[in-house]
A and B are shown apart, each in its own frame.
Chain A
């Protein structure tokens, strides 16, 4: 049995009268890729925002490597080794690639100056170009280029390489292949596999079921804030997963399949 890295127990979260999460539980093991599926508004983003410290949960427990933690800020999530690439936004377009890669974790000289400490620009630039090479972005990108000059796919690659560089235990990707071209999509999927091989755990949110079958070990399906099904990829098929997501009548489908 692989070691458990992250366990969520009965998470609940409401926005006013909207119950976005009702008793969601989930575990993630070392070197495992779990796909989180569900229709629009099912609560997937809400679940991962709760884990990554974007907002507090109303009720429920989070365990990291068996230890109970309370994640009250994005900084705390990062310090626990949870790196998230959000669906809506990850980068600051007016900053250079290098500055984005190290945003919030800037290498500095004269550390005692606190927020007034000068950035170690040489180190920033070096680390950035090494990293860009490692992710294998096809086009040569200048570490000093502004993110606003990049394509959507390039931006996604930058966000992913940032998560890579801090070698987090858990990497959460919220619809990372949205708006990506064929080549970039393969880049992202390759990245997910690499992460698994390196022993990291990945929680992948996607609407593309083909991708799920390509990279995931396990599937977790959400509907209206609840986790309604959990299956290993080896034990299921596309049709079943689709019906789980939409909530269509399983037995009717089964009968038709026979």
Chain B
């Protein structure tokens, strides 16, 4: 078992042990509940990003979509008095449109996804700032079906679990199935591994990529809604920098940035790992402004480890 997701898993266990020993509160119900509340929000986006990276593309606009979708939904529901269900539907269509535009420009015009989604990041973030005039929206305090569906919670003993965790688990299972067992997964890996070979076998590479861009955007919007409902507020600057954090989760888990090799289990491990690190270093008393140094160092260490393992595997 020298697979990258396995080595990531080992390191995750080590990290958990280190933090548990260093701080007694790390494994407390409250802290675990907190981590499990945050985990799905980035984790859900990471699932889409894994599939996209496996097909050889990535999406830098997810953090901005994370903000824009709830901002639009809340504006419609609060200021325009639109029914929340309808507002959510508009938000969904918006995410689909953003993903479709990304995908069509990347595949049909042939501009790299880095440039296309970087531009989209600016457009979407700019739109969120402009329509809110830069201010967070007033809080949404009307519980209802959709709030329960996306951000409800149950207490089990002294643990508190949000519905978002079930969303994350269900979507993870779906993603594992698609990538490993479905025909589509075979296509996704083949496209990322050798696009021309896939096309020569009749695989509709462009269509698959466009749908993956759409899926990633929709998942980013869903994560944004979950977050906004949980804290009862939508901010135009929410999710800033999430795109890089999500890509970090995915590659730390062992998915190749160059496409062809993707692992959902690895991504789940990666998401847990980054969440653990962010949470753990606070508890062990690392100064706030130094967080990112640690996060960066650990990501780099993980990537070096993966690279070394792969070199080893190639030699044997």
Contacts and interface: CB of A to CB of B under 8 A. Distances in A.
Contacts of A117: 182-183
Contacts of B103: none
A121 B260 CA distance: 19
A115 B184 contact: yes
Contact of B183 (A74, A78, A95, A108): A108
B187 interface: yes
A54 B200 contact: yes
Interface string B192-226: 11101111111100000000000000000000000
Contacts of B187: 103-104, 115
A92 B189 contact: yes
Contact of B200 (A74, A93, A115): A74
Q: Chain A contact residues: over half helix, strand or loop, or mixed?
A: loop
Interface residues of B, number: 24
Nearest to B202: A75
A89 B197 contact: yes
Given A92-B190, A92-B193, A95-B189, A116 B184 contact: yes
Interface string A59-94: 000000000000001110010000010101111111
A52 interface: yes
Given A84-B200, A94-B193, A119 B182 contact: yes
A9 B3 CA distance: 53
Nearest to B180: A119
A116 B200 CA distance: 21
Given A95-B186, A119-B186, A89 B196 contact: yes
Determine the interface band of chain A, counting residues with CB < 8 A from chain B: 20 to 34
Contacts of A75: 202
Interface centre among A54, A91, A95 (most CB of B within 10 A): A95
B201 A74 contact: yes
B230 interface: no
B182 A89 contact: no
A99 interface: yes
Contact of A116 (B183, B193, B261): B183
Contact of A94 (B181, B184, B260): B260
B178 interface: yes
A105 B202 CA distance: 9
B193 A90 contact: no
Given A92-B198, A95-B190, A118-B182, 14 more contacts: A74-B201, A74-B202, A88-B196, A95-B193, A103-B203, A105-B201, A105-B202, A106-B183, A115-B182, A116-B178, A116-B183, A117-B183, A119-B181, A119-B182
A3 B194 CA distance: 37
A52 to B, nearest CB: 7
A100 B186 CA distance: 9
Contacts of B190: 92, 95, 99-100, 103
A141 B77 CA distance: 61
B316 to A, nearest CB: 10
Given A103-B186, A108-B183, A116-B183, A92 B202 contact: no
